[in-house]
Amino acid sequence: MGTALLTIKIMPDGVEADLEAIKESAKNAVEEGKGKNIKFDEEPVAFGLKAIKLFFDLDEAEPLDPIEESLNKLENVSSAQVIDMRRAIE
């Protein structure tokens, strides 16, 4: 099996949400799901609201659903969804 490169867009529930706390919780959720090489980026949405883009690698043998479910249950997160998934060329 190969490695999947994933991008997940995390939408906070408001402009007051602590993005750094969300990133730390998201990092822990991805590490528990055996994700590696975790990186973050922020993307302005509107009226001061910023989305978090989460990038990580995951072995294709590992399930993605538990990670996505954990991210959706995080405090101050409105939604988390996979926006890109590619197979890494090794």
Q: What is the pLDDT of residues 28-79, one digit of tens each?
A: 999 999 999 999 999 999 999 999 999 999 999 999 999 999 999 999 999 9
Residue 52 and residue 19: Cα distance in Å, rounded? 8
- Residue-range domain boundaries for the chain: 3-84
The pLDDT value recorded for residue 78 is: 95
Rounded to two decimals, the pTM is 0.92
C-alpha dihedral (17, 34, 59, 78), degrees to nearest 10: -20
Q: Which CATH number fits domain 3-84: 3.30.43.10, 3.30.70.60, 3.40.50.10880, 3.40.50.1260?
A: 3.30.70.60
The pLDDT value recorded for residue 90 is: 66
Question: Under the phi-then-psi rule, with left for phi > 0, alpha for psi from -120 to 50, and beta for the rest, what region is 76?
Answer: left
